[in-house]
Amino acid sequence: MTRPHEGAVLLRRLHPDPATLTPAEVVDGLDLAARAPADRPYVVLNMVATADGRATVAGRTAPISSLADRRLFHALRASVDAVMVGAGTARVERYGRIVRDPELREQRTARGLAADPLAILVSASLRLPADLPLLQDADSRVAIITASAGEVAGCAAQVSYLRPPPGQALDLAEMLGRVRTELGVRSILCEGGPLLNASLLPAGLIDELYLSIAPALAGGAGALTILGDVALAQPIDLELLWLLEAEGELFARYAVCSEHTPLSPGPSPP
Ligand SMILES: NC(=O)c1ccc[n+]([C@@H]2O[C@H](COP(=O)([O-])OP(=O)(O)OC[C@H]3O[C@@H](n4cnc5c(N)ncnc54)[C@H](OP(=O)(O)O)[C@@H]3O)[C@@H](O)[C@H]2O)c1
């Protein structure tokens, strides 16, 4: 498999076994779909934070996201059936086509995946701007999880809706079950944001966390973290599966310890 555009980014694996890898080599052999439990897709969460835990600076992730971070999350996007995001993040970050790079789409097909992942948006209000680049991209397939009635008008993308039965509240566990059975999705990369994470993590619906730790401090009282304001009844334990480094930035892969989660790191990349 050729790996153009990657010459500039190499990551040093510090744990478990030292190696120098491209982003594609980091994710090669992950086979996240094979890890899916019977009742829902395997869900991995990718987030970036400063060393003091801030998830944004001036309301955006761009100031804390590096080239290596972006290459890694694009490599993860090239490894899953679907990419899921909360409506708040889609609106703020102006989500567009999930995998734009033709080389990454080729990598997906070489892995037996559809060229473009399904995009899943979670919205309570269905307040999604039709001019969102993702919704205006005719090549994108988008599933919107919502309990709201109606549809987003004027979309060019192929949009479908997943709703609970009338009168019932949105239950993300049930919805993820239907994403598996009705849409055939076995693996999901969740890209946040904090409010969506706060629903998924305590419910045991996240299997792994990929956390980029930017070598920076941002300060700020009450600053947004990757879990927002949620108060957990007890800490959720993580098990470190790998630790990578590039230009002082750390990239940790953790298993989220819950009854659903297999704890083995799977096959090692080359
Ligand atoms: N550091 C990082 O890696 C990272 C990653 C992602 C986002 N962010 C940042 O986080 C900020 C956005 O935070 P956020 O907490 O608002 O993001 P979010 O979780 O993406 O969006 C919140 C919205 O998503 C929908 N939603 C989330 N959970 C839901 C649930 N359980 N049921 C129904 N709807 C649900 C609702 O949509 P409606 O409002 O449409 O009802 C809700 O208002 C942005 O500044 C973004 O840049 C940082």
Instruction: Identify whether the C-beta of residue 77 lies closer than 8 Å to the C-beta of residue 101.
Output: no
Q: Dihedral of CA 15/17/20/26: which sign?
A: negative
The Cα–Cα gap between 36 and 40 comes to: 7
- Work out the pLDDT band at 7, boundaries 50, 70, 90: low
33 lines ligand 1 (CB under 6 A): no
Centre of ligand 1 to C-alpha 261, Å, is: 24
Q: Region 128-147: what's the mean pLDDT?
A: 97
Domain that holds residue 122: 21-256
Number of domains in the chain: 1
Mean predicted lDDT score pLDDT of the chain: 93
Burial of 243 (0-12, 13-18, 19+ CB in 10 A): middle
Query: How many other C-beta atoms can be found within 10 angstroms of the C-beta atom of residue 206?
Result: 22
pTM confidence score: 0.94
Residues contacting 220, CB < 8 A, separation 6+: 54
- Write the residue with the smallest CA distance to atom 1 of ligand 1: 55
Identify which of 60, 89, 211 to mutate to test ligand 1's pocket (most ligand atoms within 8 A of the CB).
89
Task: Tell me whether residue 178 is in a domain.
Answer: yes
Task: Tell me whether residue 180 is in a domain.
Answer: yes
69 lines ligand 1 (CB under 6 A): no
Give the model confidence (pLDDT) of 46-78 as tens digits. 999 999 999 999 999 999 999 999 999 999 999
CATH number of the domain at 243, please: 3.40.430.10
Beta bridge mates, 214: 50
Nearest-Å Rg of the Cα atoms of the chain is 18
Residues contacting 2, CB < 8 A, separation 6+: 103
228 lines ligand 1 (CB under 6 A): yes
The Cα–Cα gap between 236 and 181 comes to: 28
Task: Tell me whether residue 105 is in a domain.
Answer: yes
Task: Tell me whether residue 216 is in a domain.
Answer: yes
Task: Tell me whether residue 4 is in a domain.
Answer: no
Task: Tell me whether residue 8 is in a domain.
Answer: no
